Chain A
Amino acid sequence: MEGILNFLPKNIADLINQIPPEQKEELEEIRIRINRPIEMTLKGAPKFLTYIIQPEDAFHLMNKISHFSIYTLEEELKRGYITVSGGHRIGLAGKVILEEGKVKAIRDISSFNIRIAREKVGIAEPIVPFLFKNSWMHTMIIGPPQTGKTTLLRDIARIISSGNWSKGIEACKVGIVDERSEIAGCVNGVPQLTFGHRLDVLDACPKAEGMMMLIRSMSPDVLIVDEIGRKEDAEAIQEAVHAGIKLIMTTHGTSIEEIRKRPSLKEIIDQDIFQRFIVLSRASGPGTITHILDSSGKELTQKVRVT
């Protein structure tokens, strides 16, 4: 939270500081739009502050995010979001500039969506027995946006890389391909969030390429990837699985049936690669685990709440 306030212009940071501390804990998003009031999402519900954002505020915010150097954010402006220290992500919208039909950058940014990264150490503990039998199992975490997929994935990475002596789980070498710097929240390549010792992160690397790079360079036992969804990702998954590496990943969706219908993922689901599916929803707040399924789609347990 403090990290985020450092990035906001002083007047906005002061306003946000005024909300009660317990509400601050529930803060998920801060949305800043020019000429509109500040919007904050608390546990999924919007809350508006009376202050109307002026164009100068947006200018100052952009200056602070970029450390006064827009040129350092070229890649980020192409993708439309920036990860700042602490793993928080700032999404951007405004006027898009094209070059030869491809997005070159976003200019005149008018909307900022600050997604606050919540580190919840320990939320994956209850599901570890489902994912580990002698070795870790290929796992896919399925959930719509804002259901805590990445938070869960991060904690799984922490458990795998640090091990658990009481449960007889040894620490394994973990490789994370962190395309959007959300899992490990790297700043200058060094992970900022809590993990074990046996962790290597390829920060801001495209997933498909990164998975192959990690396999070749770091020989991980478990590969962790966020938001699989493109054709080349699916290909890289097959490569990795047949290289004897365990995969744990997330994808957008609401159920396994829905995932099966996605053309890019259909193939890998049909090949029965994945041994466990974890389905998340917001039924009782982010991080509600609705189902844990095995490879055939059979239910293993019902409703474990992890937050």
Chain B
Amino acid sequence: MIKLLGAIIIIVATTWTGFEAAKHLSERPRQLRALRSALQSLEAEIMYGHTPLHEASRRLAEQLTNPLSTFFDSFAKKLTDTETTVKEAWETSLKEVWKATALKQGEFEIMKQFGETLGRHDRFSQQKHIMLTLSHLEREEADAIDRQAKYEKMVKSLGFLSGLLLIILLF
């Protein structure tokens, strides 16, 4: 009886681990998509609204969901409340929020580079920079979707099956 209970607990634990890992894989393309649409909204604010950065990011923070919302919110706050540069504010806000996302180092570098160009050029070069960042992110997204298709199911089954193996060995 106790054996059976232990077996069930092992199966549940490993399956759950597998699902968690799979969730990470499926979360990344979703967040990348959200990030891209956020940058597109930023582009619209810059190109057609002539909105200053702090105002634009405050609006973005209202529209978006977490974790991007927290990111833009803290960026806007840093710009208005502290003596800083866009580059610094952008980077520190990125670092603060990065742990809470499923995104990887590659995306971090892309976003960091984008922050260095933000607010320093006229509208059209600003748009070019956004376009460039978008295309970089698009590539990352394609890669993320690819990985999801390849590994998501595998990770899930792997969790369950490794639990099964453990039970067989123990019995």
Chain A residues engaging chain B, CB cutoff 8 angstroms: 9-10, 59-60, 63, 66-72, 74, 77, 105
Chain A residues lying within 8 Å of B86, measured Cβ to Cβ, are 63, 68
Interface contact A67-B54, CB-CB below 8 Å? yes
Interface contact B121-A66, CB-CB below 8 Å? no
Interface contact B122-A69, CB-CB below 8 Å? no
The SS class assigned to the A binding surface is: helix
Bound CA span A77–B121, Å = 11
Name 12 extra pairs, CB < 8 A, besides A63-B85, A68-B54: A59-B85, A66-B119, A67-B52, A68-B52, A68-B119, A69-B51, A69-B52, A70-B121, A71-B46, A71-B122, A72-B52, A74-B122
Interface contact A71-B79, CB-CB below 8 Å? no
**10 smallest beta-carbon distances between A and B, as pairs:** A67-B52, A69-B52, A71-B123, A68-B119, A69-B53, A68-B53, A69-B119, A68-B86, A71-B126, A72-B50
Bound CA span A59–B79, Å = 15
- Can you name the residue of chain A whose Cβ is closest to the Cβ of B126? A71
Q: Which of B54, B55, B122 contacts A70 (CB 8 A)?
A: B122
Interface flags, B34-63, vs A, CB<8A=1, else 0: 000000000000100011111110000000
Tell me the smallest distance from the CB of B155 to a CB of chain A, in Å: 43
Tell me the smallest distance from the CB of B93 to a CB of chain A, in Å: 13
Chain B residues lying within 8 Å of A67, measured Cβ to Cβ, are 52-55, 79
Interface contact A71-B121, CB-CB below 8 Å? yes
- Can you name the residue of chain B whose Cβ is closest to the Cβ of A104? B122
Interface contact B119-A71, CB-CB below 8 Å? yes
Chain A residues lying within 8 Å of B81, measured Cβ to Cβ, are none
Chain B residues lying within 8 Å of A68, measured Cβ to Cβ, are 52-54, 79, 85-86, 119
Bound CA span A59–B121, Å = 13
Tell me the smallest distance from the CB of A79 to a CB of chain B, in Å: 14
B120 sits at the interface (CB 8 A): yes
Bound CA span A68–B79, Å = 8
Number of interface residues of B (CB under 8 A): 18
- Can you name the residue of chain A whose Cβ is closest to the Cβ of B127? A71
B83 sits at the interface (CB 8 A): yes
- Can you name the residue of chain A whose Cβ is closest to the Cβ of B50? A72
In chain B, positions 96-113 with a C-beta closer than 8 Å to chain A are none
Chain A residues lying within 8 Å of B50, measured Cβ to Cβ, are 71-72
Interface contact B83-A10, CB-CB below 8 Å? yes
Q: List 24 A-B contacts (CB under 8 A).
A: A9-B83, A10-B83, A59-B85, A60-B85, A63-B85, A63-B86, A63-B119, A67-B54, A68-B52, A68-B53, A68-B54, A68-B86, A68-B119, A69-B46, A69-B52, A69-B53, A69-B56, A70-B119, A70-B120, A70-B121, A71-B126, A72-B51, A74-B122, A105-B122
- Can you name the residue of chain A whose Cβ is closest to the Cβ of B124? A71
Bound CA span A96–B86, Å = 24
In chain B, positions 69-102 with a C-beta closer than 8 Å to chain A are 79, 83, 85-86
Bound CA span A9–B54, Å = 18
- Can you name the residue of chain B whose Cβ is closest to the Cβ of A71? B123
Bound CA span A68–B56, Å = 11
Tell me the smallest distance from the CB of B85 to a CB of chain A, in Å: 7
Bound CA span A59–B50, Å = 21
Tell me the smallest distance from the CB of B73 to a CB of chain A, in Å: 16
Bound CA span A66–B120, Å = 10
Chain A residues lying within 8 Å of B56, measured Cβ to Cβ, are 69
Interface contact B123-A74, CB-CB below 8 Å? yes
Chain A residues lying within 8 Å of B85, measured Cβ to Cβ, are 59-60, 63, 68
Bound CA span A105–B123, Å = 12
- Can you name the residue of chain B whose Cβ is closest to the Cβ of A11? B83
